[in-house]
Amino acid sequence: MPRPAAQIESMTLPLLPLPQQIERGTGEFQFTPATVIFAEHSFAASARFLSDLIGLAFGAQPPPVEALATEPPDGSVVLRRDPSRKGHGPEAYELQISPTRITISADAAAGAFYGVQTLRQLLPPALEYEALRAARRNPPPIVLPALVVRDSPRFAWRGAMLDVARHFLTVEEVKRYVDLMALHKLNRLHMHLADDQGWRIEIKSWPNLTVLGGSSEVGGGPGGFYSQEQYAAIVTYAADRFITIVPEIDMPGHTNAALASYPELNCDGVARPVFTGTEVGFSALCVEKEITYTFIDDVVGEISSITPGPYFHVGGDEVKALTPGQYLGFVDRVQAIVQKHGKQMIGWDEIAPANLVPTSIIQHWRPKTTPAEAMTKGVKVIMSVASKAYLDMKYDAATPIGLTWAGIVNVQTSYEWDPGTAAEGVPAASVLGVEGPLWSETIANIRDFEYLAFPRLAALAEAAWSPQSSRTWEEFRVRLGLQNARWTALGLNFYRSPEVPWR
Ligand code: TNX
């Protein structure tokens, strides 16, 4: 017999993703206008994040952040370095709430940040509401139950992907998505920066890519692109939230925007017309021409030089215009170029048969295939199986936006799967993690992006973070319902799925 939602709710804290271990204590901690946050030097940024968030409760003055020196007085919030957490990885933390103090301990800054995100989810949701913050009226009291949370992620790769090629998102919109990712302890933002319908990143040595290739999008809208400075600003903003940007330039297919911008990239030397439809598979770089590899070397080089993260995604999906031999030879050459620029190559699962080096990574997306043949090469796999993880699938037949080629993906479907066993012949030890791609053929603005991403991205975040043995749909749907207040305060345009008891 499933337990009634109300019974689960009474025992449930609004934490998402579910931490590894929660122990309830007795008593409570109360913030007062005298509360000071003491932080280890390297955790100061996370301390300020917390201070900004709770500032509202005390009028104009957020709690001061001070350097952690001697033993802080009772009533303090303390962010301290604890090397004994090291064995659990740089993202591990412990959050202790007692009547006399709150302590977040971690070995590394990422762990301290996640400890703060967990504390954040226990704070009054109204603190997230910008308008209320500005008005500084009726500050909610902040009283937290005593508890201890010990936590670290199951997977190293907890990702989301934005397709800014089919429809462009501004820098501010991407930052908004980054903020929503950080709340759910996601740590990789994969940006699909080029496709048939648009090229979205300035390449100084090939300027027409953005002058022409950046000026289109699906449906004939204005498109857009990021200057290298703007891209760098996204990288920094994300890094401040412990999110690594993973740039993707899809090739050799999905390249019409490049083929329209430069005639010499086509085998016949004739520029292709700009494309604003949604068919796939028709375009390909001319793999027999040397200029193609000069082009790729320039593009990978420029983007790699402004990308501190270790990854470069080369796409590699859905190429119908080449023979298998041409395709695999191309992937081998591109892998060498990516390595030359100091990055690890990532590609969609079509690259599995290529001569992959052990540091290359496969992103598994096609539900009816498996990249098992590549396991002997020592590569790792990111699980993005479309029938579970594709955020652009409809929630149900009535969803006004989205696609259906991989099926209908309701919230339960996106939650109830084990990334460790999602592809036959791929052992759990070879699974790097989970990523939710959001393709944008049918969606044009951040409101639409949010509607398809939430709540499913939260379900994927938990699949990526929490131990499989602790995850049940029955409990998750109740805890998901408890996100209503915070998500509403954030102005999030989430889908109020009837599968979830929203509170
Ligand atoms: C398949 S996923 C694609 C994309 C589409 C998506 C739509 C992948 C590697 N290729 O080009 O946007 O389906 O769901």
**Residues facing residue 94 across a β-bridge:** 105, 150
Is a pLDDT exceeding 60 seen at residue 81?
yes
Is a pLDDT exceeding 90 seen at residue 490?
yes
What is the rounded average pLDDT of the residues 421-448?
97
Which range is least confidently modeled, 87-101, 137-151, 250-264?
137-151
User: Is the CA virtual torsion 324, 325, 330, 332 positive or negative?
Assistant: positive
Annotated catalytic residue, options 318, 350, 435, 499: 318
pLDDT value at position 84?
87
| Nearest CA, atom 7, ligand 1 | 439
**Ligand 1 pocket check for 365: Cβ under 6 Å:** yes
The domain locations on the chain are: 21-151, 159-470
Phi/psi at 311 (nearest 5 deg)? -115, 145
CA distance 135 to 490: 16
CA distance 159 to 431: 13
pLDDT value at position 403?
98
Q: Which of 217, 317, 385 to mutate to test the pocket of ligand 1 (most atoms within 8 A of CB)?
A: 317
Q: Has 318 been annotated as catalytic?
A: yes
pLDDT value at position 61?
75
Is a pLDDT exceeding 70 seen at residue 60?
no
**Ligand 1 pocket check for 250: Cβ under 6 Å:** no
- How many angstroms is it from 485 CA to the middle of ligand 1? 33
- Nearest in space to 330 (alpha carbons), one of 311, 312, 355, 313: 355
pLDDT value at position 324?
96
pLDDT value at position 138?
62
| Nearest CA, atom 8, ligand 1 | 317
- How many angstroms is it from 319 CA to the middle of ligand 1? 12
pLDDT value at position 140?
64
Which run of H or of E encompasses 104? strand 102-106
Answer yes or no: pTM beyond 0.95.
Answer: yes
What is the rounded average pLDDT of the residues 65-89?
93
CATH architecture assigned to 159-470: Alpha-Beta Barrel (3.20)
- Nearest in space to 389 (alpha carbons), one of 433, 447, 441: 433
Q: What number of H helices and E strands is found in the chain?
A: 16, 17
* Secondary structure of 170-202 in HEC code, one letter for each residue: CHHHHHHHHHHHHHCCCCEEEEECEECCEECEC
Is a pLDDT exceeding 90 seen at residue 454?
yes
How many CB atoms sit inside 10 A of residue 428's CB?
A: 13
CATH of segment(s) 21-151? 3.30.379.10
CB 341 within 8 A of CB 349: no
CA distance 14 to 26: 18
Is a pLDDT exceeding 90 seen at residue 27?
yes
Is a pLDDT exceeding 80 seen at residue 199?
yes
Which string of DSSP letters, residue by residue, matches 430-459?
A: GEEEEEEEE--SS--SHHHHHHHHTTHHHH
Q: Which residues contact 71 (CB under 8 A, 6 or more apart)?
A: none
Angle formed at CA 341 by CA 254 and CA 197, multiple of 5 degrees: 15
Model confidence over 326-364: pLDDT tens digits? 999 999 999 999 999 999 999 999 999 999 999 999 999
Model confidence over 130-158: pLDDT tens digits? 766 656 566 667 899 999 999 999 999 99
- Nearest in space to 186 (alpha carbons), one of 423, 443, 456, 477: 456
Is a pLDDT exceeding 70 seen at residue 228?
yes
What is the rounded average pLDDT of the residues 487-491?
95
Q: Take residue 398 and report the two structure tokens written for it.
A: 């009535």
**Ligand 1 pocket check for 415: Cβ under 6 Å:** no
pLDDT value at position 132?
62
Q: What percent of the chain has pLDDT over 90?
A: 90
Is a pLDDT exceeding 70 seen at residue 299?
yes
Nearest ligand 1 atom to the CA of 363 is 9
**Ligand 1 pocket check for 349: Cβ under 6 Å:** no
Is a pLDDT exceeding 90 seen at residue 22?
yes
Q: What percent of the chain has pLDDT over 70?
A: 96
CB 274 within 8 A of CB 211: no
What is the rounded average pLDDT of the residues 391-417?
98
